[in-house]
Amino acid sequence: MQSDVGESGPSRGIYVTEDVRSYVLQRKRDFRVSTSCSGPILLPTSVKPPKTTDLQVPVGDYTVYISKYQARYIESIHRGMIPIFYEDF
């Protein structure tokens, strides 16, 4: 999946890897990529709610929101962004 970054930089896509796509679809919920002290992190929106300034990337019937601060630096949303305590593949 790709989405336009828009205001935060030149127009480009952000790719969602297949393992993250499966992760989102299995959990049947929206997620958000936000900033943590160790870099971008993918959390359920029940833990980290989306902001109106977030970029939205559709994944099936769900949405991955991306912080405008992270959107300018990432090219893909990948498994390494899933916190180990949420990872139960």
For 31, other C-beta atoms within 10 Å of its C-beta total: 29
For position 85, what pLDDT does the model report?
A: 64
Query: Contact, 47 vs 27, CB < 8 A?
Result: no
pLDDT band at 84 (very low <50, low <70, confident <90, very high): confident
What is the Cα–Cα distance from 86 to 29, expressed in whole angstroms?
A: 13
Q: Tell me: the pLDDT tens digits for 5-27?
A: 334 333 358 999 999 999 999 99
pLDDT band at 74 (very low <50, low <70, confident <90, very high): very high
pLDDT of 88 higher than 60: no
What is the Cα–Cα distance from 47 to 49, expressed in whole angstroms?
A: 6
For position 57, what pLDDT does the model report?
A: 95
Domain assignments of the chain as residue spans, ordered by start? 6-80
Q: Tell me: the pLDDT tens digits for 40-57?
A: 999 999 999 999 999 999
For position 38, what pLDDT does the model report?
A: 86
